[in-house]
Structure 1
Amino acid sequence: MDNLGVFILTAFLIESTPGPNMAFLALISATEGRRYGFATTLGVALGLLIIGLLAAAGVAAVISQSPIMFQILRWGGIVYLLYLAWEGWREAGENSPSTAHGAKSSATYFRHGLIVNLLNPKAAFFYIAILPTFVSTTDTSFTQTASLTLLYVGIATIMHILIVTFASLFNPFLADPKRNKMTRQILSLALAVVAIWFGYSTRGGVS
């Protein structure tokens, strides 16, 4: 139970630090609204869950021992985040928030959230380097890892819901095209900076 308490605290602290999810959810929720923010959150949760279950099945151990596989995952995440930042910047040139997302639907944002987390270097580091330290060798490691994964996804989702709820409060204010464009550009730049920072901070791989 002591380890569980430490794990919960660790998960909250990690999710409170700036990362791809925080930047992307803020961008979507502030400029597109709560509906699309929650759709993205569901995709994020599924992505985190899939990575966690793969880690429980032993994939994390394989990746941690393979610099090439880790670099493929790492660069895939960096490139995708930069693509989303570019997309947000490009859409800032639209005339109004209603035309900015065009034919996009909730499914589009769900898919973005899913892919971001399947390629999320922050999530990969958590499952490869941090979560295993809380797994006891006295019990079935798969059961423990899967249970801790569900707990972590739950904590992360709570944090993401709070981010979406708070950021979406600015959506009515951003109904003005000029304010919407400026905010999109600022948040898109922030997402690009996060991508570059994660690329730099994860360049050494997993020790």
Structure 2
Amino acid sequence: MKLADLEFAPSFDLPAPSVLYRIQRARARRGSQRVGRILLPPSHLLSGRFDVADVPVGYFAEAPETAVYESLCRREATAVSVQAAAMRTLLCVQTTQPLVLLDLRMHASSWPVLQSLRLSHTQELAAEAHAQGFAGVVYCSAQQHNMDCYAIFDDALAGMRAVWAERLTEPGTGNLHAVLAAAIKGSQVPLVP
């Protein structure tokens, strides 16, 4: 998919400071990339909807619950593992500079591919947006109605400041973070050990 396929490709100015949220691993794994306190999977995996080859891409949501829905309580999820949740952190970041993003939200209804699992199409679109100088992409959450998500590219990630991080399970007790418990209830995805 190319930007030319869209009738128009407007930009969206994400002001600074803006607060965003993401779910990420609590500890780095082999090949992980770190940008400040933002921990990203290896960029060569190309496993995210708007991943760009050899470019770090961080995925964020406008609300903590949306971040959980996008990462753990996705519509195709058959269960949420307490063990997997225990290895995850909810990270709150704040932008320190305005970001100019490609705005795909208005195209969600006419281009369902933007929310599909056919990642090569959306990754091609993201690569073109990156090449044209966009700092990332703003798009509709495929997991939580009426919520926005953000894929932020490489250099723009360095302009984000971590505000706080909280584990999704309480060490020692295993109690679930309130946003994880709410997402499990809302998605009706069963919790398993």
- Place the TM-score, normalised by the shorter chain, in its bin: 0.3 to 0.5
More strand per residue: 2
> TM-score under structure 1 normalisation?
0.31
Q: Which has more radius of gyration?
A: 1
> TM-score under structure 2 normalisation?
0.33
